[in-house]
Amino acid sequence: MNIDLEQIRNLLAVVSSTDITELTIEFGEHRITIKKGGTVQHISADLLAAAAPVAPPKPTQSISFEPKQDVAPAAKEVIPEPPPSASNLVPVTSPMVGTFYRAGSPTSSPFVNVGDHIAVGQTVCIIEAMKLMNDMPSEVSGKIVKVCVDNGTTVEYGQQLFLVDPKG
């Protein structure tokens, strides 16, 4: 079996930049599962021999390759990369109580995603309050590091919506 490591890296990037917490893909007799929240990389012995080294997942992800049969995977500890310093990040906060929307409509793309560069005044989300849709402009420029709120969630005044790296 041949594994395209670039496709696996792309899957890791997609999972880390979205609200997806777990992704499982099955092909043939093998299954790939990518989960946010773990720090251990599991690779079954038969795939370890077939695959070239893979870059370690980010600290908030784990990845496992395993056959569909019930075979215990071998564990390999991964040293996580240090996260960006929280002191460098600037929060974008909600100026009101309302419902947080990442896009202008359910079928539209989000205004911003993790990794996007934003400018002062750029619309980053919409907050619905009392049936009024309020565009929320950014008060900081930089790179979106984290989306702190799920789409359609009620937010409070002052609640963090995004974390931005102004040097990014």
Residue 37: burial class (beta carbons within 10 Å; 0-12, 13-18, 19+): exposed
Pairing, β 61-67 against β 40-43: parallel
Model confidence pLDDT, tens digit, residues 48-89: 445 545 555 455 555 555 555 554 555 555 555 445 556 689
What's this model's pTM, rounded to 2 decimal places? 0.49
Structure confidence at residue 4 (pLDDT)? 67
Q: In a 3-state reduction of DSSP, which class is residue 23?
A: strand
DSSP reduced 3-state for 6: helix
Distance CA 18, CA 102 (A): 12
Q: Report which residue type is found at 137.
A: P
The band of 135, judged by pLDDT with boundaries at 50, 70 and 90, is: very high
> What are the residue boundaries of the structural domains of the chain, listed by start?
5-77, 86-165
> Is 50 strand, coil or helix?
helix
- The pair phi, psi for residue 103, each rounded to 5°, is -135, 165
Each residue of 23-39: pLDDT tens digit?
A: 777 766 777 777 776 54
Amino acid at 5: L
pLDDT number for residue 81: 45
pLDDT at residue 153, as a whole number: 95
We find that the CATH architecture of domain 86-165 is Beta Barrel (2.40)
- φ, ψ at 53 (rounded to 5°): -55, 140
Instruction: Give the residue, 49 or 136, on which the prediction is more confident.
Output: 136
Residues in the chain: 168
Other beta carbons within 10 Å of 87: 5
Which one has a higher pLDDT value, 166 or 62? 166
Whole-number Å distance between alpha carbons of 26 and 18: 21
- The predicted model gives 132-145 an average pLDDT of 94
DSSP H helices in the chain = 5-16, 45-50
pLDDT tens per residue across span 89-126: 999 999 999 999 999 998 999 999 999 999 999 999 99
